[in-house]
Amino acid sequence: MFFKKKETVAMVDDRLRHIAFIMDGNGRWAKKRSMPREFGHVNGAKTFKKIIRYCGDKGVKIITVYAFSTENWKRPKNEVDAIMKLLSDYIDDAVASVDENNIQLHFLGDMSIFPENIKAKIENAEKVSADKELVLNIALNYGARAEIAHACEVLIKEGKTNVSEDDVTGALYTAHCQDPDLIVRTGGDLRLSNFLLWQAAYAEFYFTDTLWPDLDEREIDKIIDDFYTRKRRYGGI
């Protein structure tokens, strides 16, 4: 006789409050299927939703994703448009179901580049989700060096003549949350690509060859298990 094993999700604890993802490999995923790159992004957006849900269910408190860098504008217009449409649709869905998904949305990056209607949509999404629990940071038109330079400008405008690390941390787009404990990059490249340079100071890193649309719950479990084998010493012994 077979008894169906009860599915239980092993929860994370306070050592793993914040996971950041570099969602790389959408284009190659599509190419492998002889499909246009946009098809990869559509499936990347599906994976994004699945991974957010799963990490939230596991008790992760903060999730950050690298959705669009300041360099990504160099891509063909139809690809940029496709990514922006997916983001815009996601914001609409997230706002419409804000009470069920319990997601507190934040956008990291220079939003001034976007047209007024998009800026208003972003502001509204942040406002209506502000009392929700799971913090989701979407890095959009984001570059970490630009973020640090922007933080310096903010501090200069405030009239600061002495600047501490805490001052810089508090002037970054991520001022509302703690640094990532773990940064995961899919797609096989071993680099940060101008993502969270300041915040990554003591993060653990996990690189996988898996292309973003293929990332699944099983691999998240593996990544989390691996994280718990790490000894974080923060410069101590």
Task: Tell how strand 134-142 and strand 62-69 pair up.
Answer: parallel
Contact, 98 vs 128, CB < 8 A? yes
Q: Is 12 in the site for ligand FPP (CB under 6 A)?
A: no
Single out the residue of 187, 203, 224, 227 in contact with ligand FPP (rule: CB under 6 A).
187
Site map (CB under 6 A) of ligand FPP, residues 129-148, x = contact = ---------x----------
> How far lies 209's CA from each of 24, 34, 90, 110, 216, in Å?
10, 19, 26, 30, 13
Q: What is the smallest separation between the CB atom of 139 and ligand FPP, expressed in angstroms?
A: 9
**Residue 25 touches ligand FPP, criterion: CB under 6 A:** yes
Pick from 51, 55, 87, 172: which binds ligand FPP (CB under 6 A)?
A: 87
121 binds ligand FPP, rule: CB under 6 A: no
Largest CA distance in the chain: 74
- CA dihedral 138→141→142→146, nearest 10 degrees, is -150
Cα-Cα-Cα-Cα dihedral sign, residues 229, 206, 221, 32: negative
55 binds ligand FPP (CB under 6 A): no
- Alpha carbons within 13 angstroms on the beta-carbon side of residue 163 total 17
For residue 64, list its beta bridge partners: 20, 137
Minimum distance between the CB of residue 221 and ligand FPP, rounded to whole angstroms?
A: 21
Q: Are 136 and 87 in contact (CB under 8 A)?
A: no
Residue closer to ligand FPP, measured from CB, 90 or 173: 90
- Residue number, nearest CB to ligand FPP: 27
Q: In 3D, which of 91, 144, 148 has the Cα closest to residue 114?
A: 91
| Residues known to be catalytic | 24, 72
Query: Which one of residues 21, 39, 48, 227 is an interface residue with ligand FPP (CB under 6 A)?
Result: 48
- The single residue among 23, 62, 63, 196 that binds ligand FPP, judged by CB under 6 A, is 23
The beta-strand segments (E) located in 23-164 are 62-69, 103-108, 134-142
Q: Interacting stretch for ligand FPP, rule CB under 6 A, among 85-93, 95-103, 149-157, 158-166? A: 85-93
Region near ligand FPP per CB under 6 A, out of 7-15, 83-91, 109-117, 171-179:
83-91
Q: Which two tokens stand for residue 99?
A: 């009470």
Is 27 a binding residue for ligand FPP by CB under 6 A? The answer is yes
- The CB density around residue 9, as the number of other CB atoms within 10 Å, is 11
Among 16, 51, 86, 122, binds ligand FPP (CB under 6 A): 86
Q: Give the binding site for ligand FPP (CB under 6 A).
A: 23-28, 41, 44-45, 48, 65, 67, 72, 83, 86-87, 90, 138, 187
